[in-house]
Amino acid sequence: MRRILSLAILLFAFDAHAANELKIGYLSTLSGPAGAIGVEVRDGFNLALKLAGGKLGGLPTEVVFADDTLNPETGKQLAERLLKRDRVNLMTGVIFSNVMLAAWPTIQEGKVFYIAPNSTPTGITGKGCNPHFVSAAWPNEARDERRAA
């Protein structure tokens, strides 16, 4: 995850809109029974950021956390808030496909890099894949192929 995040940040740094600071929107399921997974991924992310001295890609980094509560509509609304109000320039964190499918159109329209920490629906990783999308995991269909073998 750290290498992929560094790659995306490096690409971001070459963007004409690059700033002196990186602001990451971390949207994930952080509460309820399913929140244990999101909390583990968040804690790993925070540890990587701490070990990097609070900088990613050489840029001071701020992370804005949002809990989608495993609700697709909440995830979509929070993605809009992270992009419009908080003005994040990179997003990550979504664990569950139902939330990703709801939030992805908003993230895609925002034209920010998105780094998927978990498997992602085929509609996003396949033919409809966006150049701003990077996966640190596998597409859902890859998991299905392993089960069939």
Report, as an integer, the average pLDDT of 87-110. Answer: 93
Q: Residue 77: what residue type?
A: Q
For residue 60, give the 3-state DSSP assignment.
strand
DSSP-derived pairing of the beta strands 55-56 and 59-67: antiparallel
The pLDDT of residue 11 is above 70: no
> Is residue 81 classed exposed, middle or buried when 0-12, 13-18 and 19+ CB atoms within 10 A define those classes?
middle
Tell me if 120 sits within 8 A of 104, measured CB to CB. Answer: no
- Label residue 139 by pLDDT band (50, 70, 90): low
- Label residue 47 by pLDDT band (50, 70, 90): very high
Q: Residue 76 falls within a domain, yes or no?
A: yes
- Label residue 51 by pLDDT band (50, 70, 90): very high
Q: Residue 19 falls within a domain, yes or no?
A: yes
Q: Residue 146 falls within a domain, yes or no?
A: no
Domain of residue 8 covers 2-141
Domain count, the chain: 1
- Label residue 88 by pLDDT band (50, 70, 90): very high
Look at phi and psi of residue 132 and say left if phi exceeds 0, alpha if psi is from -120 to 50, else beta: alpha
Q: Residue 149 falls within a domain, yes or no?
A: no
Cβ neighbour number for residue 86 with a 10 Å cutoff: 15
- Label residue 63 by pLDDT band (50, 70, 90): very high
